[in-house]
Amino acid sequence: MKIALIGSTGFFGSRILAEAQRRSLLVTSILHSEADVLSPRQMAPMISGNDVVVSAFRSRLKPELAADAARSLLAAVTEARVGRLIIVGGAGSLEASPGLLLIDTPEFPVAYAADARAQIEALGVLRAESHVEWTYLSPAAEVVSGERTGAFRLGADILLRDASGNSVISVEDCAFALMDEVEHPQHSRRRFTIAY
């Protein structure tokens, strides 16, 4: 299996790359600029020949670009005839309780609100797509550097919490779950979440 990984040097991307290498998968590491990610014409040749594109792209300066990046990647995947697209998103769009998104709860950090709103819009872009096999990963509310345990829970649209009410996952286990999805797809055209 051949994987194109966008954002392979970042917090998520570096762990995804390490997990893929641990599994002896072939990875094309794409060091990108925002201009590349936002241009299907520029991105398509970079991802061509791969079976799946995994995007851990994040714009620190312009979080509002998430939806534009999702649109561009969908177009690039279509143009390059790559079978699947997996995007690492955020937790803000998960339901903290029925009908209440995590971003709309009092405990959601204001500093992350702009990025969360943009990720919600990006998820909406994916959900409107009917031709590309996409998957969107919303990790737990808190993602920390830690261990690769392989022991975690998966969910869909509801924030997963432990017995103490915490929603936490290591970035290493996020990478583990994501690469499981790459190798054994379970969430085609769906979002999934992960937490301990």
Classify strands 2-6 and 52-55 as parallel, antiparallel or unpaired. parallel
pLDDT tens-digit readout, 44-87: 999 999 999 999 988 766 777 899 999 999 999 999 999 899 99
pLDDT tens-digit readout, 165-176: 999 999 999 999
Report DSSP state, residue 57: -
Which domains does the chain carry?
2-195 (3.40.50.720)
Q: How many CB atoms lie within 10 A of CB 110?
A: 6
pTM value? 0.95
Whether 92 contacts 101, CB under 8 Å: yes
